[in-house]
Structure 1
Amino acid sequence: MRTVVAFALASAAMTLSACEPQAPLASDFIPEYKGVETALLDGDLVQFNVAMTKAQSGQDVADYAECAAAQYTLIRGYGFARHVRTNVAQEAGLWRGDAVYTISPSLPRGIKTIDAEVTVAHCVEKGIPRV
C-alpha cells in the first residue's frame, strides 16, 4: 500500500510540474546575431540591415548596427561615422534593424557621431560582431 501511495504522489508531482512554466535559462538571454547586409547608397552614405534573435530591446539591434557601421568605416579607410537613422522591427522572435550612417575621414558635424576605432573596441569587449 505504501508503494502505491508513493507512486501516486510521484506521478501527481510530475504531472503538476509539467504544467508549471519553466524558469528562463541564461542562454535565453544571449543574443544570436544573424548577419549584416551593407549597401552603399551614395558616396559616403551607407545602409546596414542587421538581424538577430534574443534581443532584450531595440537598443540591442541598434548597437549591432552601430558596430557594423564602425567596422565598415575602418574597412573603407575612414575614422568617423555619423548616425542618420535606425528603424527596428520585431516579428516572431526575429529582430531586424535598418540603419543609415555617413562615413568620413574627419569628425563630421552633428551630435550622433562615432569614433570608429573606439566603437569597434567597445563592440569587441561586449562580444558584438561587426561586418
Structure 2
Amino acid sequence: MIRAALISSLTLAGCAPVPGGSADGFDPDYNGVRTSLLEGDLVQFHVTMSGARSGSDVDDYAECAAAQYALIRGYGFARHVRTTMKQEGGNQTADAVYTISPSLPRGLRTIDAEVVVANCEANGIPTV
C-alpha cells in the first residue's frame, strides 16, 4: 500500500510546472499592448512579446487583447481584419486590426469575446 502511494506521488511530481517556464521551455514575456480606436468599430492593437515560439503566439496575444477590449466596450464579438508581424532582436511585434460588434459579425475569423478571454486566462496570456 505504501509503495502504491509513493509511486502515485512520484507520478504527480512529474506533472508539476517547471519554475520560470513550462516543461516545453516556453517562457514568454508579454511586453504590453497599445490600443488605438481607428474609426467607429475598427480597433488597432500593437502587441510586443519576447520568447514566442512562433508568430502564432504573438497572434494569440493580439487576439486576447482584442477580445478583452470588446468586452470592456460592452461588445461580445470581434472579427480579425489583418495582422502584420515583425521581429526586432529578441522581440516580436504584431500590428493587428479587429472590428468589434455586439452581434456575431460576418467573416471567417470571428471571435466570441467571452470564450476567448476565458481561454486566454486558462493559458496564462494577459489581456488588455
- TM interval, shorter chain, is 0.7 to 0.9
Q: How much identity, in percent, do the aligned residues show?
A: 68
Pick from 95, 99, 122 the counterpart of residue 98 of structure 1.
95
More helix by share: 1
For 1:1-131, list aligned pairs within 5 A: 27=21, 29-131=26-128
Give 2:58's aligned amino acid: V
Find the residue that maps to 1:29 and give its secondary structure. Answer: coil
Find the residue that maps to 1:41 and give its secondary structure. Answer: strand
CA distance in 2: counterparts of 1:36 and 1:65, whole angstroms = 8
CA RMSD of aligned residues (A): 1.3
Aligned length, in residue pairs: 107
CA distance in 1: counterparts of 2:20 and 2:55, whole angstroms = 20
Give 2:93's aligned amino acid: R
CA distance in 2: counterparts of 1:48 and 1:121, whole angstroms = 19
Find the residue that maps to 1:129 and give its secondary structure. Answer: coil
CA distance in 2: counterparts of 1:36 and 1:93, whole angstroms = 17
Query: Which residue does 1:9 correspond to in 2?
Result: none
Which structure 2 segments of 5+ residues have no match? Answer: 1-18
Where do 4+ consecutive residues of structure 1 move more than 2 Å? 25-29
Give 1:61's aligned amino acid: V
After TM superposition, the score normalised by the length of structure 1 is 0.79
CA distance in 1: counterparts of 2:100 and 2:42, whole angstroms = 7
After TM superposition, the score normalised by the length of structure 2 is 0.81
Which structure 1 segments of 5+ residues have no match? Answer: 1-24
Query: Which residue does 2:5 correspond to in 1?
Result: none
Residue 29 of structure 1, CA deviation:
2.5
CA distance in 1: counterparts of 2:84 and 2:123, whole angstroms = 22
Greater CA radius of gyration, 1 or 2?
A: 1
Query: Which residue does 1:11 correspond to in 2?
Result: none
